[in-house]
Amino acid sequence: MSSATWTDDTAFETALSNAAREVDTVMDRLISVPPGPEARVFEAMRYAVLGPGKRLRPFLVMASARLFAVSRRSALQVAAAVEMVHAYSLVHDDLPAMDNSDLRRGRPTCHKQFDDATAVLAGDGLLTLAFEVLANRDTHGDPTVRCELVSALALAAGDQGMVGGQMFDLIAEHRPDLDIGAITRLQRLKTGALIAFSCEAGAILGKAPHDARLALRGYAHDLGLAFQIADDLLDVEGTPEMTGKPVGQDVIAGKATFVSILGVERARAQARLLVGQAVAHLDIFDANTELLCQTARFVVERRA
């Protein structure tokens, strides 16, 4: 385990909610509703991105940026961009053509609140706006850094990352025989890639050396898998009141998951092992790793 100190849970939760508030303020500013008929898509974008949620990916951006003394303003811009991509993925994932979900973050899904076509456009709008934000001078003074952020987010969100993972997941619904290696690859693409971008973003903004980036990539890899195992556990053990979304979906669909393959107890043990491994990757840093250490623990102990 890393030598980093662990502050108490209350301090961590306060840091998480403070960062969420700050990033929401930035997103609120970035998405204002114009007059005219197009207002509806802006309202749907705001509904999707400003609704309740943990803002875990923005927090990872802020926590990794802290390692390299990156300005809060730069980190918040990237944090907002990554949350927009995350919110777009949830909106599209909930559509009738994909998961066909009515409930997300304890509220009607975007297509239920608006309509299918508006939800498709809201997702498209959020994805596009994320890149506009990264390319903006406010994000970083150095255009090379901005270009690297754009490229890294495109890789994480696109066909070699989240989109590829989502395709794999849709196909996996008909493949209950998938083994642990296949499930690990699926989740690395579907949820891990965006989590990895969030962790590496601080290093990109801070022009950090290669070994620092590698360490963050290792941390993110283990964290992403632990996050997914926790999500699979919540699908089995949680309630819609706790998670704000339907539960038991994987079992109903007969999908292969970490929990269906390993069982509840081994899956939980594996998640805790991954947290230890994630934290160990941070040993190369001299200071400021507490938030990342605590995030790893939070990810497996969370109840939502």
- Judged by the rule CB under 6 A, the positions of this chain that interact with ligand GRG are 53-54, 56, 86, 89-90, 92-93, 105, 162-163, 166, 190-191, 231
- The CA distance from 147 to 143, in Å, is 6
Least separation in angstroms between CB 87 and ligand GRG = 8
Least separation in angstroms between CB 210 and ligand GRG = 28
Least separation in angstroms between CB 278 and ligand GRG = 16
Distances (CA, A) of 152 to 133, 160, 177, 193, 292: 14, 11, 33, 10, 20
3-state SS record for 7-37: CCHHHHHHHHHHHHHHHHHHHHHHCCCCCCC
- The CA distance from 140 to 143, in Å, is 7
Q: Which of 86/146 has CB closer to ligand GRG? A: 86
Q: Which of 54/213 has CB closer to ligand GRG? A: 54
Q: Do the Cβ atoms of 12 and 50 come closer than 8 Å?
A: no
Q: Which of 192/202 has CB closer to ligand GRG? A: 192
Other C-beta atoms closer than 10 Å to the C-beta of 203 total 23
Least separation in angstroms between CB 207 and ligand GRG = 28
Q: Which of 2/187 has CB closer to ligand GRG? A: 187
Least separation in angstroms between CB 56 and ligand GRG = 5
Q: Which of 123/206 has CB closer to ligand GRG? A: 123
- The CA distance from 94 to 101, in Å, is 5
